[in-house]
């Protein structure tokens, strides 16, 4: 068996220049399968709101939803480092942030992730002080999609550039072991990756981050009704599933009744 992946493992991968592969897992079979593929970082993301629960965005995901899916994924006992998102409005205060982070850890998460920079710094510091590994998330913040009026690329203006640099360094100084950069312009993502001692995990932020994360249904083509522009699916599993079901139905229709 491979050695258990830890935040220190990911830091060492950045130092060596090894790209960090990360994918989402929302249940036992997918967590087990991805772990068998050697994916070192698995996230029970609040993206499950759309690709599992059928919500229009992540703001409908509850802490109970996250606990349920973290428990399911954790039953795979992965070698990978397994984490969970703190969902919408679950970390508005320091007290709530720590209490809810502990709930995800109790469900099986080995780290928690939350969106935001300096505005959530007290929460980040308290989570880290409680002994819970923390992963940051900067750039486009899905939990803010309603107030921002959509999913927008960040880092285009000098003000956004400066804010991203300051927020990323603040999260690193607070003890975050990695930062997801979502829809950050590639030049800014590259600069952040070069400046920070901790790994950057990109999604739609160009090729120069220390790693990349994708929503697994996007990669495998199991959610064919929407695919982000920056994703190139490596499999059209939905089409194969439809074919398999149709073939089974055809076979069933030809089977004589007794």
d(CA 21, CA 210): 9
| Interior/surface letters 192-203, b for 16+ CB within 10 angstroms, e for the rest | bbeebebbbbbb
d(CA 246, CA 186): 43
For residues 177 and 14, the answer to whether their CB atoms sit within 8 Å is: no
Least Cα distance to 135 among 101, 90, 99 occurs for 101
The residue annotated as part of the active site, out of 89, 182, 191, 247, is 182
Q: Tell me the H-state helices in the chain.
A: 7-16, 28-36, 48-51, 63-74, 94-107, 121-129, 145-148, 158-174, 186-195, 216-220, 237-254
Q: What is the DSSP letter of 27?
A: S
**Among this protein's residues, is 67 annotated catalytic?**
no
d(CA 74, CA 212): 22
Residue 3, Cβ density class (10 Å: 0-12 exposed, 13-18 middle, ≥19 buried): exposed
Which residues are catalytically annotated? 182
């Amino acid at each position: 068996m491979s050695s258990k992946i830890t935040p220190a493992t990911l830091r060492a991968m950045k130092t060596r220049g090894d790209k960090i592969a990360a994918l989402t897992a929302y249940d036992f079979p997918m967590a087990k399968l991805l772990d068998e593929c050697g994916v070192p970082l698995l996230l029970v993301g609040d993206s499950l709101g759309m690709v599992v629960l059928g919500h229009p965005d992540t703001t409908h995901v509850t802490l109970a939803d996250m606990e349920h899916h973290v428990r399911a994924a954790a039953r795979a006992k992965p070698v990978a480092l397994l984490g969970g998102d703190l969902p919408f409005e679950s970390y508005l205060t320091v007290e709530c942030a720590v209490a809810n982070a502990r709930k995800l850890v109790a469900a099986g998460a080995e780290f928690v992730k939350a969106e935001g920079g300096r505005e959530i710094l007290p929460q980040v510091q308290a989570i880290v002080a409680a002994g819970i590994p923390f992963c940051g998330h900067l750039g486009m913040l899905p939990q803010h999609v309603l107030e921002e009026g959509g999913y927008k690329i960040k880092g285009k203006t000098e003000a956004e550039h400066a804010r991203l640099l300051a927020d990323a360094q603040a999260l690193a100084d607070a003890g975050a072991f990695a930062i997801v950069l979502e829809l950050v312009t590639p030049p800014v993502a590259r600069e952040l990756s070069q400046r920070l001692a901790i790994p950057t995990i990109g999604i739609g932020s160009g090729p120069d981050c220390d790693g990349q994360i994708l929503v697994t249904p996007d990669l495998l083509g199991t959610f064919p009704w929407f695919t982000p522009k920056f994703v190139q699916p490596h499999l059209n599993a939905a089409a194969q599933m439809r074919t398999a079901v149709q073939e089974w139905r055809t076979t069933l229709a030809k089977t004589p009744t007794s």
